[in-house]
Amino acid sequence: MDTTIDLTKEQNATLQRSPLKYSAAAKVFFKIMDVITGEAITLPKAALIEMLASIPYRAWEGAEYVRSSLNYADGARVKYAEKLQGWNRYAQDNEYGHLLVIQEKMRLDGVSEPWWLMPPVPYFFMLKYRVMSFFFARFSQRHAWLFNAEFEDHAEHVYAKFVQEHPELESQPVDGNPVVTSVYGELSTWADVFRRVGLDERDHRNKSFSLAGQPEKVVSYDGMPE
């Protein structure tokens, strides 16, 4: 992680930037989540977001293995598939790291899991999103990337607002929490932890737009990955 990034500056930049004009499918998706979890931004709601966030990357990784197998004689196509497989593996591990961090904060704060985080409810959400991601990946990878960019843009704004709405996070030290350090290394406060999570979502948003052929929608910042 680049320790020179000004996380507070980037959180404010997110808050000042309007969310994307979401597609009808994205609006319905986010509305269903709000109906189930409530509109307030809470740690359990963030946990559900992260349960879903890694699913497309798993689907895309599998799709690229299929494409590279079918086009094994095309060296350029196989090399491109290998690059996408690597990014998809990184992205899904990154999203899972977010989930571990959120679960640790819930444990520390004594936040119990609501009914919609208890099996089999999250399995139902995950299965539906997996099926959706599977079909996107097979029939229109570009649209899959664009939908994911919307999902990640939404998540980025969720975390920026969460930190804004909870100023007490600024005075809650991480104190070398092993779960946090295993994901991010050294961060000083829980506010910075969630700012960093939000910035990860921006990175995923940016990559999705780049892959979809819309680099003009990338939101740059000092210290961002290539």
Q: Which domains does the chain have, with CATH numbers?
A: 7-217 (1.20.1260.140)
φ/ψ of residue 189, rounded to 5:
-130, 165
pLDDT at residue number 110: 97
Q: What is the reported pLDDT for 64?
A: 75
- How sure is the predictor about 123, in pLDDT bands with cuts at 50, 70 and 90? confident
2, pLDDT greater than 70: no
Mean pLDDT of 47-67: 87
Note the pLDDT tens digit of each residue in 205-219.
999 999 999 999 999
State residue 173's pLDDT score. Answer: 97
Cβ atoms within 10 Å, residue 196: 22
Which amino acid appears at position 194 of this protein? F
Six-digit token pair at 27?
A: 């609006």
Task: Look at residue 1 and tell me whether its pLDDT is greater than 60.
Answer: no
20 and 150 in contact (C-beta within 8 Å)? Answer: yes
Dihedral pair phi/psi, residue 166, rounded to 5°: -130, 75
Q: What is the mean pLDDT of the chain?
A: 92
State percent of the chain over pLDDT 70: 99
Given a cut of 80, whether residue 187 has pLDDT beyond it is yes
How confident is the model over 6-32, as a mean pLDDT? 96
pTM assigned to the model = 0.92
pLDDT mean over 92-113: 97
Q: Which comes out higher in pLDDT, residue 1 or 202?
A: 202
The alpha carbon dihedral of 221, 94, 84, 51 has a sign of negative
> What is the rounded CA–CA span in Å between residue 51 and residue 49?
6
Whole-angstrom distance, CA of residue 92 vs CA of residue 29? 20
Q: What is the DSSP string of the chain?
A: --TTS-HHHHHHHHHHSPPP---HHHHHHHHHHHHHH-SS--HHHHHHHHHHHTHHHHHHHHHHHHHHHHTTT-HHHHHHHHHHHHHHHHHHHHHHHHHHHHHHHHHHHTPPPPGGGSTTHHHHHHHHHHHHHHHHHHH-HHHHHHHHHHHHHHHHHHHHHHHHH-GGGGG-B-TT-HHHHHHHS--SBHHHHHHHHHHHHHHHHHHHHHHTT-GGG----TT---
pLDDT at res. 124: 85
Cβ(156)–Cβ(17) below 8 Å: no
The angle, 0 to 180 degrees and rounded to 10, between the axes of the packed helices 141-165 and 7-16 is: 110
Residue given tokens 């499918």 in the structure block: 25
pLDDT at 112: 95
Mean pLDDT of 177-184: 95
